[in-house]
Structure 1
Amino acid sequence: MLLQTRDGPAENMFVVVRPTAHARGVRPLPLPRLGTPDTRSPARFLWWQARQQKGVLAFAVLMGVLTFGAQTVMPYVVGAALDSGLDSGLDGELARWVLILLAAAAVQVVTAAVGHRADVVNWLRAAFASAELIGDRVTVTGHNIGEELPTGEVVTTVANDALRLGEVYATAARLVGSLAAYVVVVAVMVPMSLSLGLVVAIGLPAVAAVLALLVKPLQARQAAQRETQGRLTTLGSDTVSGLRILRGIGGEKVFADRYRAQSQKVRQAGEHVAVTQSWLDALQVLLPGLMVALVLWLGARQAVAGTITPGELVTFYGYAAFLTWPLQNITESVQFLTRAVIASRKIIRVLSTEPATGTTPVRAAMPAPGAELVDETSGVTVAPGRLTALVCADPDQSAAVATRMARLDDDAEAGTPVRLGGVLLRDLDKAALRRRVVLSEATPHLFSGSLRTELDVRGTTSDDEILAALHVADAQDVLDSTPDGLDGELAEKGRTLSGGQRQRVSLARALLTDAEVLLLVEPTSAVDAHTEARIAERLAAARRGRATLVVTASPLVLEHADEVLLLHDGVVRARGTHHDLLDAPTEAGARYREIVGRSLDDDATTEDHERAGARRTEVAR
């Protein structure tokens, strides 16, 4: 796993393809300046997100008010035009009312179209911002996120909850416009007919109150469905990640049965949601319809009695029918808000996960360039301008030291202080430290996307520099085998590459960070001896003048090291050049010769595996 940052802590390892030129209307990702979200409660989080997009949100609300305002004008104008025609015939006054009606319709059409675009922007802005916050948090929490939340839960948060949260902002304009329309309609109807005006003024809130009674059970059932869906996603991701093992032990049927059972639970939870939702949808049609019928019946009686004019009757009917639309919008907004609250709780759980490196404030300034990196517990020292190799009979011990020197877990490493230029790593700014100290682990983690974006994670490297790094890593064959070269697409986890190719791509990616201190864990363990020899020679030349630590037991790499450290029982027991340690007539020398000799035997096996892996990769292509 390559650990490094871009220009700030909010973009740690959040790899996004940045367009080189922005097309008209296309908004670049990731979104800039997200800030620190308020995670104290779902309401505070939703309000914080609203403030992040207050400009486009205010514009959408304005368009919503204008759309509904224009719509409220139409029934009044139609009624006035009808009375004018009945009283005066086809005269100029009727023509003026017709022109006003056309103008209102034009305003309604234009503002509705523009407002819909703004609604979509609000939805996408909130959804992408939430997904980006989750991605940022996942990358800085380290292994803690996997310990506190299942993988499927985190995936569902991005794939589902972020979109549900965005729906609130997509409907906000319609909600405000609907409320404004209700106020305007009541203000117009009451002076014309007090009784009919009160029917509408009281009837709409009463209908909304009845519908609101179903919201709480709907919310509870949606929350239950969300939980079962998260468990299903977790089960699916665990099954896929361990599919080879399951096939090897014949456990496919067991997991298939578990998945089928959990899938049925999701279906049942969905049916429970659908029952409540169907009642809500039915009442949304029935209750407003009853209110329209009541207004029409009362209005017709008043029109026959001469209390109101025929045009006013048409106006009342138009308003009663029109208000079913705002009522549906209000009910829909309440449903979306309910789902958004549930989604916010899930998102807050992810955002509240503490990073493995803690949240301690910066207590010291970064040391000047050229500082020495020292692990005080083991005695491992990475000196500036030198290529240092770390050898151990137990590769896990030496890898743990290198990982510790990259500051990945403050709690686990509290008793093993590491200093850069005499300053404890836990006291330094993490973003600045990630730029200066980079760790490349033994197991390469590759992502889907173009080869260029996979290698140039900071987006600042030229093609010549990328090609130079591929040359150092002896990965020209990767470039040749990828369609379209650097623009060719890599499959998820680099599945189309052999193990040795993935390792070399990971090494090239680490080299392109141009880190002041580069920590490489077994960077050549999956390649054959000839390739390893070329990489070792080129690596020493490429990193000349900068601090590099290579965890390895391969003599092909060790002979290029300026200094070799022998680690035993977690402590450095001997140091010197490769040949000095080979010739040392001490117990440490004997132990070193045993480790290196064992590595030579492993190299032959690795070479056979690399050839087999290359053949499998060629067949896969």
Structure 2
Amino acid sequence: MRRADPSGRHVLRRTIGGQRRDITVGAVTGMAHQTGEALVPVVIGVAVDRGVADGDLPALLLWLGALAVVYVGLSYGFRIGARAGERASLSAAHQLRTRLTGRVLAPEGGARDGHLPGELATIATEDARRVGAVAMAVVVAVSATAGLLVGAVVLLRVSLPLGLLVLLGTPLLLWLGHLLGKPLERRSATEQERAGHASGIAADLVSGLRVLKGIGAESAAVARYRNISQDSLTATLRAARAEAWQKGVVTLLTGAFLALVALVGGRLATRGDISLGELVSSVGLALFLIGPLSEFSWVNAELAQGRASAARIAAVLDAEVAVPPGPPQGPCPRGAFTGRLRLRALSYGTLRGVDLDIAPGELLGVVTTDPADATALLHCLARRADPDDGAVELDGTALPALPLTDVRATVLVADHDADLFEGTLLENVTAAAPATADVPAALAAAHADEVARALPDGTATPVGSGGRALSGGQRQRVALARALAADPPVLVVHEPATAVDAVTEARIAAGIRTVRAGRTTVLVTNSPALLAHTDRVVLLTGGTVAATGDHHRLVHDRADYRTAVLT
């Protein structure tokens, strides 16, 4: 991955480069529009000199016709340019959202580290929109520059002092506008950071609402969110004040500059250096210049916000990967691996030198006296992280030597807190199921068929976002059915039945053994009902393998095992 650019310039360059065609069309037609706007006072001035001052009616009608043609041209130029600029802006934002989603969901991971889910959503929406708006800002900037140049050239032809005043004063005005945009850029970055953090906290509170109500912590949670939301509001108001101050000062400077242009033009007219029509053109051009100069003020604000948002997007896109993706070959066909797992002197987190051999087709139970040991083991088996020392081998090959997509397709780790997604119960269960999957058997093994029978529309019943239409035990059974329906060569399940009653738990244990017959399955659990159906149990204590054997023998022989599974 490229070296991180904290400023996000490469994000802006790619955003603009990816919309080159629309930006070019928008810029060219925008230039035509601004040129037409600049020519309107010129044509009016000529009409005054040729038609009104000289009393020539045909000449007056001719130049009025020319004015109508200019208006038609600038009107179409604006319509086409605005459409192309908006298309570039929206397309760029969409492409950024797609890239961000792909990076967050990439198998190698790392992009979510240090970010709350709600914060990532803010980056993928509001920050992407602001960076996409830079494409429109480029179109407007090029168009406004064309208008200023045409106005300056006309003024030079009318009067050298007027033209020089515009040519020399405009760059100075733009430079001052750029300096005034610096505070806005800094405060915009803080605004987006605080807003993202507030969104992340809100998402966490909503997802844990039942737990908060259960422990009576609603008031504490509300107070916490209120404080964070107040911080976000304060940052937003500071950014708004910076934007208002920047626009106000730029408007004041612009007005003073245009007043100076009008004053110089008026003095030249009174001395007879320019004609009446040229004075009209000069004053009209001075009024026209308000538009391009005001647009530069808007462009500076958009660029300031876009740069701040691009830096936040770059932090996600350029995040260090959690694990290397491995060699590029793959994917392996289903069934290419027998499912033999071997842990060789594995050290990671709280694990210390774990040696473990899991035979193909074995149903293994893993009991831990420290939940951190279970978490570390799941991270290594799912290859969310590579061990500090030792290795996890699949059919004799270390996981980093295999394509990451093949590892994830072969070894499925079903977490205890697995979420359901918006859709029906059946859509959740079949989300990762192959065409040959026995879905009814998976539903029966997880006793999710009972859940379906209790719902109004059976398996066609929507479960709601995150499965919130279901109880905790129902969600667990649907999630387990989804893992069983996926039918991977190796399935690792972490505490799949903590929210069900003892009778259902025993039935689930028997169902897992039946539906997973002949395929490697690892149950990381302290549930005696599940462990009683395993071929073998491994006890991890202090990060190492303390004992291995039959569940009933370990209950009889090991006090630490009894403590772990029976209390």
1:56-109, Cα deviation, whole Å (9 max, x unpaired): 333333343333233333333333344443246443x55554444334333333
Q: CA deviation at 1:519?
A: 1.8
The change in CA–CA distance for 1:95 and 1:153 in structure 2 (over 3 A counts) is same
Q: Does 1:372 align with 2:345?
A: no
Pairwise CA RMSD of aligned residues? Answer: 4.2
Q: CA deviation at 1:454?
A: 4.1
Paired position in structure 2 for 1:323: 289
Q: CA deviation at 1:43?
A: 1.6
Q: CA deviation at 1:440?
A: 0.4
Q: CA deviation at 1:356?
A: 3.0
Question: Secondary structure of 1:171's partner?
Answer: helix
Question: Secondary structure of 1:214's partner?
Answer: helix
Paired position in structure 2 for 1:421: 395
The residue identity in structure 2 corresponding to 1:435 is A
Relative to the length of structure 2, the TM-score reads 0.80
Structure 1: gaps spanning 5 or more residues: 1-34, 603-621
- Figure out how many residues of one structure are paired with residues of the other and give that number: 552
Match of 1:564 among 530, 536, 546: 536
The residue identity in structure 2 corresponding to 1:376 is R
Question: Secondary structure of 1:417's partner?
Answer: strand
Paired position in structure 2 for 1:445: 419
Say if 2:369 and 2:564, in contact at 8 Å, map to a contact too. no
Q: CA deviation at 1:199?
A: 2.6
* Cα distance between partner residues in 1 of 2:49 and 2:453: 81
Match of 2:253 among 277, 287, 294: 287
Paired position in structure 2 for 1:45: 11
Identical pairs, percent: 31
Match of 1:176 among 120, 142, 155: 142
Q: Does 1:521 align with 2:488?
A: no
Q: CA deviation at 1:423?
A: 1.4
Say if 1:211 and 1:284, in contact at 8 Å, map to a contact too. yes
The residue identity in structure 2 corresponding to 1:406 is A
1:142-197, Cα deviation, whole Å (9 max, x unpaired): 99667645666545433543332222123221111111222222223312322222
* Cα distance between partner residues in 2 of 1:399 and 1:589: 23
Q: CA deviation at 1:419?
A: 0.5
Q: Does 1:115 align with 2:81?
A: yes
Relative to the length of structure 1, the TM-score reads 0.74
Question: Secondary structure of 1:527's partner?
Answer: coil
Q: For residues 489-568 of structure 1, what are the structure 2 equivalents within 5 Å?
A: 489-528=462-501, 531-532=504-505, 535-536=508-509, 539-540=512-513, 542-544=515-517, 546-552=519-525, 563-568=535-540
Q: CA deviation at 1:420?
A: 1.2
Paired position in structure 1 for 2:351: none
Paired position in structure 2 for 1:390: 365
Paired position in structure 2 for 1:362: 327
Q: Does 1:349 align with 2:339?
A: no
Q: CA deviation at 1:118?
A: 3.1
Match of 1:407 among 383, 389, 394: 383
The change in CA–CA distance for 1:589 and 1:125 in structure 2 (over 3 A counts) is same
Match of 2:45 among 79, 84, 91: 79
* Cα distance between partner residues in 2 of 1:312 and 1:182: 18
The residue identity in structure 1 corresponding to 2:307 is V
Match of 2:165 among 199, 203, 210: 199
Say if 2:366 and 2:522, in contact at 8 Å, map to a contact too. no
Question: Secondary structure of 1:354's partner?
Answer: coil
The residue identity in structure 2 corresponding to 1:58 is T
* Cα distance between partner residues in 1 of 2:308 and 2:405: 32
Question: Secondary structure of 2:365's partner?
Answer: strand
Question: Secondary structure of 1:443's partner?
Answer: coil
Q: Does 1:474 align with 2:447?
A: yes
Say if 2:2 and 2:318, in contact at 8 Å, map to a contact too. no
The change in CA–CA distance for 1:233 and 1:437 in structure 2 (over 3 A counts) is same
Say if 1:379 and 1:572, in contact at 8 Å, map to a contact too. no
Paired position in structure 2 for 1:9: none
Say if 1:42 and 1:345, in contact at 8 Å, map to a contact too. yes
The change in CA–CA distance for 1:88 and 1:531 in structure 2 (over 3 A counts) is farther
Q: CA deviation at 1:439?
A: 0.8
1:418-453, Cα deviation, whole Å (9 max, x unpaired): 101211112322223212221101222234455566
* Cα distance between partner residues in 2 of 1:488 and 1:106: 57
Q: For residues 87-106 of structure 1, what are the structure 2 equivalents within 5 Å?
A: 87=54, 89-91=56-58, 94-106=60-72
* Cα distance between partner residues in 1 of 2:311 and 2:267: 52
Paired position in structure 2 for 1:218: 184
Q: CA deviation at 1:468?
A: 6.5
Structure 2: gaps spanning 5 or more residues: 346-353
Q: Which segment drifts farther, 251-260 or 63-72?
A: 251-260
* Cα distance between partner residues in 1 of 2:144 and 2:461: 50
Say if 1:61 and 1:176, in contact at 8 Å, map to a contact too. yes
